[in-house]
């Protein structure tokens, strides 16, 4: 059985809820990622923010990314547990049409799964079937 832990990209870093969107954008640039989990003062996962969120919901609306906080754009959070089977992970990503999902263990962030991680896991033989990949791609990209 392939689990989220087998596919995830470990070492994910959080942006603090009170950090600015400008800080979040710099973190994304420096890490080469398009999304960051948001963690509260208790270091528990409280949201996620994407580069698209910053552009569309801040900059395009004429707001100042240096003044807006990460949590201002932190939408509804979907996450999976590290020991969840990949069928559960794929289903959740398909159902909510999301391309990245945080992975938690004991209420703490342990990694992220992106569409690239899914593709790499498939290529590296982590037991994702062609059917799982096709269904995921159809759900996330064809139903928009």
For residue 142, give the DSSP letter. Answer: I
Spell out the domains of the chain, with CATH numbers in brackets: 4-142 (3.10.580.10)
Percentage with pLDDT > 90 across the chain: 56
Angle, helix 86-96 to helix 130-137, in steps of 10 degrees = 20
Say what the pTM is.
0.82
Span 58-106, pLDDT tens digits:
999 999 999 999 999 886 789 999 999 988 999 999 899 888 999 999 8
User: Over the range 63-97, which residues count as b (16 or more CB within 10 Å of their CB) and which as e?
Assistant: eebeebbbbbbbeeeebbbbebebeebbbbbbeee
Which pLDDT score is estimated for 85? 93
């Amino acid at each position: 059985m392939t689990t989220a832990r087998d596919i995830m990209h470990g070492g994910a870093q959080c942006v603090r809820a009170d950090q600015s969107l400008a800080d979040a954008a710099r973190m994304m640039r420096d890490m080469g990622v398009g999304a960051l989990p948001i963690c509260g003062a208790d270091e528990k996962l409280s949201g996620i923010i994407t580069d698209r969120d910053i552009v569309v919901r801040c900059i395009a609306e004429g707001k100042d990314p240096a003044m807006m906080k990460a949590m201002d754009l932190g939408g509804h959070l979907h996450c999976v547990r590290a020991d969840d089977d990949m069928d559960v992970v794929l289903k959740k990503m398909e159902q909510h049409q999301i391309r990245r999902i945080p992975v938690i263990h004991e209420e703490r962030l342990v990694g992220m799964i992106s569409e690239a991680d899914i593709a790499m896991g498939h290529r590296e033989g982590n037991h994702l079937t062609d059917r799982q990949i096709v269904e995921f791609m159809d759900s996330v990209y064809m139903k928009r």
